[in-house]
Amino acid sequence: MAGQLEELPLFPLHTVLFPYAQLQLHVFEDRYREMVRSCVEFDRPFGIVLIREGSEIGGQAAPYMVGTAVRILKVIPYDDGRMDIHVEGERRFRIRELDEDSFPYPIGKVEPVIEVEIDETDEIQQLFGEAKDQFEQLIQKLFARQEFNVSVKLPTDPVVLSFTIANMLHMENLAKQRLLETTDTLERVATLMPILQMQNLEAKETNYYRIGGEDLREWITPN
């Protein structure tokens, strides 16, 4: 099996990134600056994994075994070596071996996480239709608070839609991690539905919206 595993640089964070979602990171720790430079030079992805134990800054952090490989879209360097990077999640992986000694940053020997194929039944189509309707309503309500009228165009692919909804909703990291590790799209959407319905109801009943740290999760200073 070891010969079939992909070697992937890892960036442990106190956040979960889903496939197809984008994230901005401020990178200033030497080891991760080196990692980013290497990824840019060789046009390779790196993996974002949720920290199970440990800190983002200095030392070693024990990650959860399932994460998301990301592609660097943009790098903004600063004179002192720090950089801002803009990344996009591409695919999930599972760590089979963890190497924390060969490089300044951790390397995972990983395999892909494969999604279970969906059966196109009437029940499933109804569930996804309800999820799309609820999600569109939520987006409309959130933008209405800012006095914007938006036209919502949602993904037609069920897997992409499930991750798009998961990325938008407010949840604890452990709940997000469970969704990331789920390989059944139907199970993921069924788990999201009560959360989506509740947040839709709260958006309807609340006349104001206070921005908190979770709303700024797309701009993260990890180290």
How is the chain split into domains, by residue range? 2-114, 122-205
Distance CA 47, CA 59 (A): 18
For residues 222 and 123, the model is more confident at: 123
User: Does the CA dihedral 14-86-84-44 come out positive or negative?
Assistant: positive
Mean pLDDT over all residues of the chain?
86
Residue 38 pLDDT greater than 50, yes or no = yes
Residue range 2-114 forms a domain whose CATH class is: mainly beta
Residue 149, pLDDT score: 60
pLDDT in tens, 122-155: 888 888 999 999 998 888 877 766 555 656 678 8
Query: In the block, which residue shows the tokens 């608070």?
Result: 145
Percent of the chain with pLDDT over 90: 63
Distance CA 55, CA 71 (A): 23
Q: Which of 12-21, 121-130, 213-222 has the lowest mean pLDDT?
A: 213-222
Residue 137, pLDDT score: 87
The most distant pair of C-alpha atoms in the chain lies apart, rounded to whole Å, by 58
CA distances from 89 to 69, 140, 211, 212 (A): 6, 25, 24, 23
Considering the domain delimited by 122-205, tell me its CATH architecture. Up-down Bundle (1.20)
Residue 214, pLDDT score: 47
Q: With bands split at pLDDT 50, 70 and 90, how would you rate the model's confidence at 171?
A: very high
Q: Write phi, then psi, for 40 (nearest 5 degrees).
A: -70, -45
